[in-house]
Structure 1
C-alpha cells in the first residue's frame, strides 16, 4: 500500500509543478516529431526505461543465428550447452537463468516451452529483439529480477508478402523458414503463417576425457560427438479481422510444435550417453483482441491461450557407452544416465491471460495498467520411477498446481517540451502452489500449499539535452516468484520445494547517450543487490532448489559505432561486471565472485557495404566479427586468491584452479551477403564461424563447435 501512496504522491507533485499551457506543448512536440522521425527500434531504445534493440531487418540474410546476434550485443552473454537445439540461458547484467523473462510479442512464453527459444528460432521469423535491462515497461508486467527479452515477430504492413529461407552448413545442419501474410483488397481480413524446421547431427569434435581400459589413466582426446541429433518443427497459422468498428484486430491462431533431442551428455561432458532421448510437443490455440476507443485515445489489448504441453525423457538402455561409441551391456542397470532408468512422461496444462489498457490523462500524462495471470497443472508418469509406499501411486501421477498473478500500473509523463520524461510504476506479485511436498528420495507422501504476496516499485527518468544527447536514471525494487519447475521439481533427480521464498532485488541504472552524423556512443552503469537468490543445490544423488545466496555488485557497459566512410562501419562494445556474494556463513565465500559467470567480455565488428557492384540495384556486404571473453571459474574462489591484475583482467589465481577454469576465449566470424535487388527478390549469405578453430567453452565447460561453414538462400515474393 505504501508504494501506491508514494506513486500517487509523485504523480500529483510532478503534474502540479510542471503544468503549462497545453497548446504550446503540443505544437513543440509535433515539430520535434516531424523534424526527426524515428524507427520503432529507436523509439524503444530512447525511452526512459533502459533497452537494447537488435534490429534483424538488415541481418536476416546472414547465416547467423539469434544466439550469435545476442552475444554481439553489449551486456549480454548466452550460456549454451552445445550445438543447435541445446539448452540456453541468458546472462544479463549479472542475472541469468529464470531471473530473465522471455516474451513473444509481449506475451510470456511459458506455454511454448522451448519451441520458440532464441536458440532455434530463425532470424527471418523475428523483426527485432527488445532486451530490457533492469526495470521493465508496464506492458510486459513480469516478475523479472534482471530484465527481459521480448521477441517481436514480423509485423508486415504490406499484404501478400512471402519470405522463404533455406540454410545448410557443417554437421549436416539444415534450417528452413517460411513467413507469409495475405490481406484482402479492402484490408478487412487477413491470414498468414510462420513455419520453420531445424535439423543438425551436431557431431562436431570435442576434447573429452578418455579413461584407458587397461591402465585406468585419464587423458584428453578429440572425439566427434555422437547421439547428439536435434530436430524441431514449428508452424503457426493465423487469421482474423481488422479495421472494424468493434475491433481493430481480432486474431485467432493455431500453433503446433514438435522437438526431438538426442542427449550425448548431461550437465557436463564427463560421461557420454548413447540412448538417452527427450522431446516435447503441443497444439496451441490463441486469441488476441485489440481495440482503440474514443478517437484512439484509450488502447485495449487482450490475449488468451490454453494448451496442453507434453514432454518425455527416456533412459532405458541397460549399459553404458564410451566416447568411441562402444556399448557395454550391464544387465543390472535399467538405464545409462542412472542405474534406475527413466520412462518419464509429463503433461502441463497451461492457461495464460494478459490484459493491457492505456488511458491518456491529459497531454502530459498517460496511465497504463497490465495484468498477467497464469495457471499450470502438471501430471505425469514414470513406470521406472518412485512410488508412494502407502498408496502405490506413481509420484508423478499426483497433480501439482501453480498459479501466478502479476499486476502492474503506472504513469508515463512528459515535461519541458518533451525534454524530460518520467515512468513511474507499481507492481503486485502473487503466487499459490499446491502439490506433494514429499522427497523423492524418502518417498514420503503429503500435501503442501504455499502463498506469496509481494509489492514492487520503480521509477525511470530521462532528460534530453538535444535530439542527439540524453541521460537517464532508473531504480526499482522488484520480486521474482519461484517458477513452477523450481517448486515442482522434475519428478526424478530434483526434489520439490513448496516452501521456496521469492527472490528480491534492488536495481539502479545510470546511462548516457551521444551521437553525431557518423558517431554514436552509449554508456550504462548499473548496481544490483539481490536477496534469497534461488539456486539448485546438490544434496547428494538428488538436487533441490533453495533460497541461498545474497549477491551485490556493479557493472559498466560501453557501446560505440563509427561510420569511417559511407561504405565502411565499425562498432564495438565491452561489459565489465563485478558481482559478489555477501552475508555468507562461510567466511571463505564472503566477497567471492559468482561462479560459472563471465565478468568481462567485449565485441568488435567491421562491415563494408557496396551497391551496384555486380549488377544494377544489387547490394553486397562483407563483415567480420570478433568476440572475447575473459577467463572465469566454475566454482567460487576466495577473493584474496583471485588474479591480482587490474580488475582481474590479467594475471592468474594464486591457487591451482586449472581444472575449474574456462580460459580466455577469442571467436572470429567472417561472412558475405549479396542481395540481387537491394532488399527484394533473391539473396544469398555465406559465413565461416570460429575462423581459427579455437576451443570455445561455455556453461560448465561444455565445448562448442570448432570451425564451421554455412550458406543461406533467401527469396522474397
Structure 2
C-alpha cells in the first residue's frame, strides 16, 4: 500500500512546489513546510534500510534557503528544504543525478554517489539568477521586513551602498531616525550613542549578537570597515532577549558579512582631509567537502585630526597683560592611529554544526590627547596607547539535537594593556605654544607650569592591565510554527591591575585591583496567530553584579591608606512586544519593559586616558519604556514605491548615569554620577520614496522631549531646574537623503550614483535653561551637508568614490561644546580581487 501511494504524494508535492514559484517566498516557506511533514511520514517506512542523504542549501552569503526543491532524476524521490534550509532524502546505494531549483537562483544538477552508510552529507550553494533579479530583491527586502515586524521599535539599515563610500558606520547611524552620535572630536575620539533621549552605556553595541566590548576598545564601530558589514540593526528602547545584555535605552547590532560558502578577497583604501588614511582588507577561504573555513580581516586608521576650532573656549592669553584673544586655531596635538586584525578558523555547514570557529583578535591604538573634559584645558604632551589580544570560540547550529532547537554559544578571553604618559607640566595655549613668563621689562624668564606637575593632575606613567572574560549562550526552541521559546545567558568578568613608577614609593608595589562581574539571564515566549498577522512576545531578565576594589592612597599626612569596596546588585526586569497587521502592509507595533542598566567598568573605576575619576558608589540605571507605532507600506504604484514608519515613545528613567558637569570649566577631570530622574516623550518619523529603482529618498525627523523629573533634593529643597529640558542634549533632529543611480556611465556595464545628505540639529542649552539670564550658553543650530559620488567599473571589481563631508563648513559641536571636524574631502578605492 505504501509503495503505491508514495509516488502520488511525491508527484503532488513537486507539482505544488512548481506552482509556488509563481508566488512569494513567504507562500513557499509556510505552505510547502506544512506538506513536508506528510511526505516525511510516508517516506520513513519505505527507507528504513536506505541511506539518508541530508544537507544544507544556502546562498553565496551563507544564508539558509527555505523552499528549495530537490528531485532525484529518474525517480519519484525528493524533498523541499525546511525553514532552516535543510533537506533529507532516503536513497539506496548507487549513482544519481540531483536536480536543485529555487525561485531567483540558477538551477543545478549534481552527480552524486550514495554509499552503503546510515547517513551521508551533501551541502549545496545556489547562485543568484540575473534573469530573476526582481524576485531576489523581494527576498532580500523580506529579511529587513521580518525584523521590523516583530513588535519592537527597530530599524534595519542595509549597508550595501554605504560600503563603497568613505563614510563610516557611525555616519550611517547618525542619519537614522531617533539616533544621535555624540563624539568628543575627530577620528579616534570616544563615541557615545543617544537613542530617544537615553545615551551612553544605556545603549549597547553588538557584533553578531556579541557585545563589542569583548573585542577590545581598538576594535570599535569607527574602525570596522563598512564593506565588512551586511546590515546594522537599531533597537529603540525595548531590546529582545537574544541580545543578552542590560541595554536600557536601545541596542545596535552589527551583522557582519559571512561569505563562508565562497572564496573572497577584498581591499579598500581611503585618503582625505586632516591627513586621514584608512586601509582595510578581508577575505575568506572555504572548502565545501570538508567544511574547512578560514576568514580574516585587517584594518589601519590614521589621522592628524588637525581641523580648525573656534568659539568661547578657544583663545590665547597675552603674556604680559593677561588679555584674552579669541582665535580660530588648528588642533595641534590630536594624532590618532589604530590597527588590528581578526582571524576565524574552523568548520561551517556541517550536519552537526552550522559554525564552529576559533577566533583571534589583535589590535592596538595610539593617540594624543588635545584637551581635558572641556576645551578650556589645552594639552600639548599628554598621550595614551593601548593594545588588545583576544581569543574566542563560537558555535552555531540551527538544528541542535533537533530541527526544533537551535543553539548559539560564544566565549572569549581578552587582555588589554593601557599606558598613560603625562609627565610634562608646561601650560599650552590654543596657538600650540607654551605660555611664556616675562618680567616687567618684557624679557622672557621661563614658562608657566601646572602646580600639580603634569597636564591632567599628578605626573603619571600608569600602566593598567585589563582582563575580560565573556560567556554567552542563546537557545531557541520552536515546537510548532505558532510557539517559540528563547533562553539567553551572559556572564562577563572584568579585572584591572595598575602600576605607576611615578607613584609614592610606599604604595608602588602594593596590590591595586579593581574587579567586577555581571550575569544576565533572559527568558522569552513568542506566539504567532492568524497566519502570522498577530505576533506577541513576553520576556523576563535577571540582573546581578558584583564589584570589588582594593586600592592604596597617600593621605595628606603622607600615610598609606587602604580603601576596600565590596558591592552586590540584584534586579529583575520584564516586558512584552506586540505586532498586528490590521490590513495588508499596515502594521501596528507596541513594546514595553521595566529594565535595568548596570554601570560598566570605566564608569565605576575611571579612566585616566579619558580624564575620568572613579565612582564606586554608582547605582544601576533603571527605566520604564513604552513604544507605540505603525508602518505603512511599502506600497507600489507602477514605478513608484513609498513607505512610512512612525514610532512614539515614553521613558521614565531614574538614577541616570551621566558624566558630571563641574562648575569650573577648567577642571581637568570629571566622573560619572547618578543624575536623579528624567521623563522623556517623543517620536520618530521615517519616510521612504523610490522611483523606477533609480531615485531613492529617505527622510526622517526625531523629537526628544527629555525633562528633569525630580522636584526636591535630599534636603527637601526644590531644584531650580525641575521640569527643565535635559541640558546638553539635542531635542530636534532631521535628516534627508537623496540618491540617484546611473547605469552604463562612460562604459557599458558600469554603474554610478550620486547621493546627498542634509542633517539638521536644532540649538540646545548647554546648561539648565532656568539658570542664568540673557546670553545663556547654547550649542548653536547645526546644518551639515554631505555629498557622495561612486563609480563602479563594468567588471564590478573596482569602485571609486569621492565624499564631501560638512561642505557648508558649519561649526558642529557635541558633549559640552567639544567641536567636531569641519569641511573635509575623502577619496576611496574598493577592489574585489576574488
Check if 1:284 corresponds to 2:284: no
* CA contact 1:320–1:327 (8 Å) conserved in 2: yes
Residues 374, 67 of structure 1: alpha-carbon distance in 2 compared, 3 angstrom cutoff: same
The 3-state SS of whatever aligns with 2:462 is strand
Q: Is the 8 A contact 2:427 2:450 kept in 1?
A: no
5 Å matches for 1:38-437?
38-186=141-289, 188-207=291-310, 208-291=314-397, 292-328=399-435, 329=447, 335-385=453-503, 392-394=506-508, 397-436=511-550
Per-residue CA deviations over 1:431-481 (Å, capped at 9, x if unaligned) read 011113788877741322111110000100000134422011100000011
Taking structure 2 as the reference length, the TM-score comes to: 0.77
Shift of 1:156: 1.4
For residues 33 and 594 of structure 2, the distance between their equivalents in structure 1, rounded to whole angstroms, comes to 33
Shift of 1:567: 2.0
Residue in 2 that maps onto 1:6:
none
Is 1:549 equivalent to 2:676 in the alignment?
A: yes
The Cα shift of 1:501 comes to 2.0
SS at match of 2:464: strand
Q: What is the CA–CA distance in structure 2 between the aligned matches of 1:621 and 1:477, rounded to whole Å? A: 45
Q: Is the 8 A contact 2:367 2:383 kept in 1?
A: yes
**Cα distance per residue 1:186-231 (max 9 Å; x no partner):** 2610102111110011111111222222332223211211121100
Could you tell me how far apart the structure 1 residues matched to 2:608 and 2:300 are?
30
Provide the secondary structure at the position in 1 that maps to 2:248: coil
Q: CA deviation at 1:301?
A: 1.1
Please report how far the alpha carbon of residue 564 of structure 1 lies from its aligned counterpart in structure 2 after TM superposition.
Answer: 4.2
In structure 2, relative to structure 1, the CA distance for the partners of 1:468 and 1:157 (3 Å cut) is farther
* CA gap 1:23/1:186 in 2 versus in 1, 3 angstroms: closer
Q: Does 1:587 align with 2:701?
A: no
Secondary structure of residue in 2 paired with 1:110: helix
Distance 1:77 1:336, change over 3 A: same
Mean alpha-carbon deviation: is it higher for 286-295 or for 298-307?
286-295
Post-superposition shift, 1:495? Answer: 4.7
Of 602, 606, 616, the residue aligned with 1:489 is: 606
612, 619, 630: which one aligns with 2:762: 630
1:614 partnered with 2:731: no
| Residue 525, structure 1, aligned to residue 648, structure 2 | yes
Cα 1:415–1:558 change in 2 (3 A) is same
Seen in structure 2, the aligned counterparts of structure 1 residues 556 and 43 have a Cα distance that, compared at 3 Å, is: same
Counterpart secondary structure, 2:245: coil
Question: Take 1:550 and 1:215, find their aligned partners in 2: how far apart are those partners?
Answer: 46
Question: 2:571 pairs with 441, 449, 454, which one?
Answer: 454
**1:461·1:474 contact (CA, 8 Å) conserved in 2?**
yes
Instruction: Output the CA distance in 2 between the equivalents of 1:296 and 1:211.
Output: 72
Shift of 1:42: 3.0
Whether the 8 Å CA contact 1:25–1:417 is kept in 2: the answer is no
Tell me the alpha carbon deviations over residues 53-102 of structure 1, each in whole angstroms, 9 at most, x when there is no partner: 22111211111111211111100110011111111101111011111111
Q: Distance in 1 between matches of 2:166 and 2:343?
A: 25
Equivalence for 1:598: 730
SS in 2 for 1:319: coil
Shift of the alpha carbon at 1:111? Answer: 2.8
Give the distance between the partners of 2:740 and 2:423, measured in 1 at CA: 53
From the CA coordinates, give the structure whose radius of gyration is larger. Answer: 2
Describe the shift of the 1:40–1:337 C-alpha distance in structure 2 as closer, same or farther (beyond 3 A). farther
Whole-angstrom CA distance in 2 between matches of 1:470 and 1:26: 26
Give the 3-state SS of the residue equivalent to 1:171 in structure 2. Answer: helix
* Cα shift readout 1:518-559 (whole Å, capped 9, x = no counterpart): 111100000000111123436786644332320112011101
- In the comparison of the two structures, how many residue pairs are matched? 674
Could you tell me how far apart the structure 2 residues matched to 1:536 and 1:417 are? 48
- Is contact 1:576–1:599 with CA below 8 Å preserved after alignment? yes
Equivalent in the alignment of 2:95: none
Task: State the alpha-carbon separation in 2 of the partners of residues 447 and 99 from structure 1.
Answer: 27
Task: Give the CA deviation at 1:496.
Answer: 3.8
C-alpha change, 1:489 and 1:223, in structure 2 (3 Å) is closer
SS of equivalent to 2:230: strand
Query: Which residue is equivalent to 2:797?
Result: 681
Q: Distance in 2 between matches of 1:177 and 1:54?
A: 22
SS at match of 1:711: strand
Match of 1:690 in 2: 806
Task: Map residues 661-672 of structure 1 onto 2, 5 A cutoff.
Answer: 661-672=778-789
- Cα distance per residue 1:211-252 (max 9 Å; x no partner): 222332223211211121100001011110123343322101
C-alpha spacing 1:701/1:546, structure 2 compared with 1 (3 Å)? closer
Contact 1:396–1:491 (CA under 8 A) maintained in structure 2: no
More displaced, 510-519 or 376-385?
376-385
Correspondence 1:578 to 2:705: yes
Return closer, same or farther for 1:160/1:491 CA change in 2, 3 Å cut-off.
Answer: closer
Cα distance in 2 for partners of 1:548, 1:171 equals 37
Instruction: Using the TM superposition, give the Cα deviation of residue 710 of structure 1 relative to its aligned residue in structure 2, in angstroms.
Output: 0.7
Match for residue 581 of structure 2 among 464, 467, 492: 464
RMSD, aligned CA: 2.6
Q: Is the 8 A contact 1:437 1:496 kept in 2?
A: no
Q: Equivalent of 1:499, from 617, 626, 642?
A: 617
CA deviations on 1:94-141 (whole Å, 9 max, x unpaired) are 011111111111111223332222223221222211111111111111
Give the superposition deviation at 1:331: 7.0
8 Å CA contact retained: 2:736, 2:759 = yes
Verify the 8 A CA contact 1:51 1:132 in the aligned structure 2. yes
Which region of structure 1 is more displaced relative to structure 2, 429-438 or 484-493?
A: 484-493
Displacement after TM superposition at 1:330 (Å): 5.2
Q: Report the Cα distance in structure 2 between the residues aligned to 1:138 and 1:618, rounded to whole angstroms.
A: 44
Counterparts in 2 of 1:547 and 1:499: CA distance versus 1, 3 Å: same
Residues 223-232 or 40-49, more deviating:
40-49
Asked if 1:535 corresponds to 2:658, the answer is: yes
String of CA shifts for 1:652-672, please: whole Å, max 9, x gaps.
xx93244x2110111111121
d(CA) in 2 for partners of 1:701, 1:171: 21
Aligned twin of 1:560: 687
Kindly indicate whether the alpha-carbon contact (under 8 Å) linking 1:437 and 1:498 is maintained by their aligned counterparts in 2: no
State the alpha-carbon separation in 2 of the partners of residues 589 and 662 from structure 1.
18
Residue 604 of structure 2: SS of its match in structure 1?
helix
Q: CA deviation at 1:684?
A: 0.5
1-structure distance, mates of 2:571, 2:179? 28
Find the residue that maps to 2:170 and give its secondary structure.
helix
Tell me if the contact between 2:512 and 2:552 (Cα under 8 Å) persists in the aligned partners.
no
